[in-house]
A = this chain, B = another copy of it.
Amino acid sequence: MPIQIINNIKSFVALSQEDEEAFIKILEIKKYAKKEFILQEGQVCDKIFFINSGISRVFFNIDGEEKIVQFFFSDSWFTDYSSFLIGQPTNENLQAMEPCEVVHLKKNDLYKLYETNPVFERVGRVMAENAFMSLMQLNSMRTNLEPEDRYLNLLKQRPELVERIPQHYIASYLGIKPQSLSRIRKRIFDKK
């Protein structure tokens, strides 16, 4: 029973019993091992993903280098909108960092729901709005803070993330090299 995703949606849009049932019908739940790809560049992203459990990361390859965009813990949504909406191949990768359980929501099925019941149109709207707000926050972290402050900010805002995620991934997420993060950590530590 995909209770988690339903509760998540209900936290922002009211669903009737029938809505719930119609929605549950189109869901598919898959399990992924560590390092397995949930979405891989080159594919067309025709789904929306919901992370039930586990940790995953989104990254893309820029001339041979992985650039991490975001980490997703349980209870998170993800899709590559530019691939999802336009139908072009994605250049993003969604990869399990620990064993993950992921709910798949197929575009075609979702669009049918859009047609038959406008409440799902609203669900889609709120998801896009939320995605926008998250990205805005991420964007402002990266553009308004110095590397050192980005790390301090992350330590403060999401200490559990810093605990559980390898340092070179965090460096990539902060937009710097592992060596630089290592030095930043040393600087911070020496100050104290």
Copies in the complex: 2
How many Å from the CB of A58 to the closest CB on chain B? 11
Q: Does A30 sit within 8 A of B, measured CB to CB? A: no
Chain A, residues 21-47, CB within 8 Å of chain B (1/0): the string is 000000000000000000000000000
Kindly state the separation between the CA atoms of A133 and B128 in the bound complex, as whole angstroms: 10
A82 to chain B, nearest CB (A): 5
Q: How far is the CA of A175 from the CA of B146 in the complex (A)?
A: 12
User: B81 contacts A144, CB within 8 Å?
Assistant: no
Q: B residues within 8 A CB of A142? A: 139, 142-143
- Asked whether, in the complex, the Cβ of B136 is within 8 Å of the Cβ of A175, the reply is no
Docked CA distance A62–B139 (Å): 14
The yes or no answer to A125 lying at the interface (CB within 8 A) is yes
- Chain B residues whose CB sits within 8 angstroms of the CB of A125 once the complex forms: 121-122, 124-125, 128
Secondary structure at chain A's binding surface: helix, strand, loop or mixed?
Answer: helix
For A121, list chain B residues within 8 Å (CB). Answer: 118, 121-122, 125
A57 sits at the interface (CB 8 A): no
Q: How far apart are the CA atoms of A91 and B124 in the complex, in Å? A: 26
Query: Is A131 engaged at the interface, CB distance under 8 Å to the other chain?
Result: yes
Taking the closest CB of chain B, its distance from the CB of A162, in whole angstroms, is 20
Q: Can you list, as one digit per residue, whether each of A115-150 has a CB less than 8 Å from chain B (1) or not (0)?
A: 000100110110011011101101100111000000
- New contact pairs (16) apart from A128-B131, A138-B139, CB-CB < 8 Å: A67-B144, A81-B136, A85-B129, A118-B118, A121-B121, A124-B125, A128-B129, A132-B132, A132-B135, A135-B135, A135-B136, A135-B139, A139-B139, A139-B142, A142-B142, A143-B175
- Distance (Å) between the CB of A167 and the closest chain B CB? 19
Say whether A143 contacts B81, CB under 8 Å: no
